[in-house]
Amino acid sequence: MTMIQTPMEKKMNKPGRSIWVFGDYRNYFQNRVTLQLLARARELAPEIGAQVCAVVFGSQVDEYVGEYIAHGAQTVYVADDPILKDYNIETYLVLVERLIRQYQPDIFLIGATDFGREFAPRIAKRLKTGLTADCIGLEINGDGLLVQIAPSFGGNLIATIITPETRPQMATVRPGTFKELPHDTGATGHIVPIPLPDDLPGERVRLVQSERKPPREQRIEDARIVICGGRGMGSKAKFRKLFEMARLMGAEVGATRPVVHSKWVDHDCLVGQAGKNIRPKILFSFGISGAIQHTAAIQDADLIIAVNKNPNAAMMKMADVAIVADASQFCSALIRELRKRIRE
Ligand SMILES: Cc1cc2nc3c(=O)[nH]c(=O)nc-3n(C[C@H](O)[C@H](O)[C@H](O)COP(=O)(O)OP(=O)(O)OC[C@H]3O[C@@H](n4cnc5c(N)ncnc54)[C@H](O)[C@@H]3O)c2cc1C
């Protein structure tokens, strides 16, 4: 594999341009954000003549290195050592800072998971560079700068942010924002082993035990049909009807923030700025007003069917099919109809 370098960079022995993606492989089959970022990086890289690199820290991580190459990484920087088995913020920070100073990537992307939200700002602080958190889009502008698109001011504005002066340009990106590339078993990549420095800081925090939450059967981000309910469903008991409807349709249930705050459903179901981005083929929206913090996360749905008693609700304006009705009653009628058809 060849590094992309301008003749001047070659002369100065300066690394070529690159977009880096941090490999967050924890809970690999559920957490696909690294693969989604690699896919977007591959789309953006030709616009600035860059190559796409992944960075992986851990112990016995060959499997993930292979996965990242199969999903678009052209080079993978790998620090593989038993010391790195569990995520340790101080060790990881020292390593990543040194790597970035050595290889000078133009852009550094991390998933906006709990891990990324903790890790990324600390890296940015150490490198005295900018960071846009929780992006919902990434572009390259006419000057070759990364345009970082993120909700701002409590989600009332969508801001487009650039980092013209400092490097790398850093962003965390919400899971589900981009689509991963298909797994390419024939893909090849360059692997750069990173030796551990002797002066790594000692452990001040030690992981004693971790336990994985049982996964949902299907992830809402991947569901072809999503049924979202809002405060207009009326009560927790009425909201439960959406789960029955979802069962009959093979769909997943999503919810707005007031519903989650009222404890009608788990936080896992939250769709919006503070929750998940979804891109279903069909999205049902029951009793939802259509606040930007919610709709920013459903823009990629192919078909939206909204039910609301207020025809002027923003959600009704956004929908492809807008039905003026009581959400709970409409849901009961639909369930009856579905049951009839399934029996037929
Ligand atoms: C920083 C920040 C982050 C946020 N993040 C998120 C987020 O991630 N996700 C999110 O969803 N929200 C988020 N919010 C909250 C968001 O601004 C809205 O308050 C929320 O989306 C509204 O939820 P809702 O539509 O269920 O409720 P409401 O706004 O109260 O709307 C209820 C709707 O139901 C309709 N209705 C009422 N009764 C019936 C009935 N019987 N039948 C049919 N329709 C009926 C009403 O006409 C109305 O349109 C965030 C806010 C902030 C400030």
Q: Supply the pLDDT for residue 107.
A: 98
3-class SS letters over 174-223: CCCCCCCCCCCCCCCCEEEECCCCCCCCCCCCCCCCCCCCCCCCCCHHHC
CA atoms of 146 and 140, how far apart (whole Å): 5
Mean pLDDT, range 266-287, rounded to an integer: 93
On whether the CB atoms of residues 279 and 252 are closer than 8 A, the answer is no
Ligand 1 site residues, Cβ closer than 6 angstroms: 154-155, 230-232, 234, 256-259, 270, 272-275, 287-289, 291, 293-294, 308-310, 313, 326-327
Q: State whether residue 52 is helix, strand or coil.
A: strand
pLDDT at 225: 96
What pLDDT does residue 217 have?
63
pLDDT band at 228 (very low <50, low <70, confident <90, very high): very high
Which range (23-37, 211-225, 269-283) has the least confidence?
Answer: 211-225
Outline where the chain has alpha helix (H).
7-11, 33-48, 62-70, 89-103, 114-127, 236-249, 257-261, 292-295, 314-318, 327-343
315 neighbors 324 (Cβ within 8 angstroms): no
Identify the CA nearest to 41 among candidates 169, 191, 220. 169
Say if pTM beats, i.e. exceeds, 0.85.
no
Quick check: helix, strand or coil at residue 158? strand
Give me the sign of the Cα torsion angle 169, 172, 177, 182. Answer: positive
Mean pLDDT of the chain: 91
Query: Which atom of ligand 1 is the closest one to the Cα of 230?
Result: 26
pLDDT in tens, 239-273: 999 999 999 999 999 999 999 999 999 988 999 98
Distance 37 CA to ligand 1 centre (A): 29
- Confidence grade of residue 88 (pLDDT, cut at 50, 70, 90): confident
Pocket probe for ligand 1: among 174, 294, 317, 324, the residue whose CB has the most ligand atoms within 8 Å is: 294
pLDDT at residue number 245: 95
Cβ partners under 8 Å of residue 166, min gap 6: 127, 128, 129, 130
Q: Over the stretch 101-125, which tens digit does the pLDDT of each residue have?
A: 999 999 999 999 888 999 999 999 9
Q: How far is the CA of 154 from the centre of ligand 1 (A)?
A: 14
CA count, 13 A, side-chain hemisphere, 72: 24
H or E element: which one contains 324? strand 321-324
How far, in Å, from the CA of 317 to the mean position of ligand 1? 15
